[in-house]
Homo-oligomer: A and B are copies of this chain.
């Protein structure tokens, strides 16, 4: 199982970046460093600046991917690349330019556009990687999770915890695109992954498109738990968080604020977190998902957090700042926020395609990992928070 190791030597750096006080390079030290290499050892003192920085300095960089480009290339792939066993999904992932060409939006997060042609199926499989779908446009595809068909429409959020069988089917005459978010990079670096193939064909009786999935009928009633459900598996039992509820929750917060009762995170900034109704915790053990609405003309305070996020513009337009980059964004655009880079967003009145003038941002992050391990830190610039 272990691959042959042709160059077992570790490259000790004689002058490490960020490790200023190195001993003088003498022949004896060179001998020592050759001894280290021979024995597969690396000293701390040449590496400490990289390994133990004063604060997180992400290898990932702030980056923006335009939806129009993603959409165009995905459509091209729809013509050229079949979907089926082996490749499993016609998914095209964001590759952060700081991460050496790997398909990692951030060091822990996978974000991809998935594309399904009319009538196509993506075959059933399951994996330990936690996943979700978020729909920025279109409708007509449904995801079948453990035999439960979940319709997908603009604004819907579909989490799906690891090790559940799932497949997709495009029931319409039009292609459809959406985004997939997973913890693939996190499970890749921690090496926790299992994967199994399922049925090659979805049952005919699963091809009906219901208005609501069975999971929503059991779990989609606010504050009400079905007594028929016993032991719970990891992750949320609710497989779809429909846009109508998310939209209403955000509108309610802004209305409460307007009436003088607070309810928002900060002035003009409403936000909800998608949670597991059985526990109140995040929908997935390793992934957090939220929807933020920034009212016309409002701006959020810059926030730094340990851990990384990916955002997609769901509606409206405005500008977002990540570290030293600022972009004007519009519907569908995706961008990565690396660890400890300050992030803020502004809704730009007038230039919007939405009725309300609000900027709606879907966000997902690896925060549950940091919170479970007590590694989370947040700093809000310019405030005492």
Contact = CB atoms under 8 A, between A and B. Distances in A.
Interface string A1-34: 1110100111100000001111100101101100
A326 to B, nearest CB: 12
B274 A223 contact: yes
**Which A-B residue pairs are the 9 nearest by beta carbons?**
A21-B86, A45-B87, A42-B103, A191-B339, A10-B95, A2-B61, A221-B249, A227-B271, A217-B252
Interface in A125-170: 127-129, 162
A101 B3 contact: no
A223 B195 contact: no
A374 B285 contact: yes
Given A277-B280, A279-B279, A53 B285 contact: no
Contacts of A92: 36, 41-44
Contacts of A224: 241, 245-246, 249, 272-275
A341 interface: yes
A175 interface: no
B32 A80 contact: yes
Interface stretch (A257-265, A311-319, A351-359): A257-265
29 contacts: A2-B323, A2-B341, A3-B61, A22-B86, A23-B81, A26-B80, A35-B76, A41-B70, A41-B73, A41-B95, A41-B103, A44-B90, A45-B89, A47-B103, A51-B103, A54-B195, A192-B306, A217-B252, A219-B223, A221-B245, A221-B249, A222-B241, A223-B275, A223-B276, A223-B277, A223-B283, A228-B265, A277-B280, A369-B373
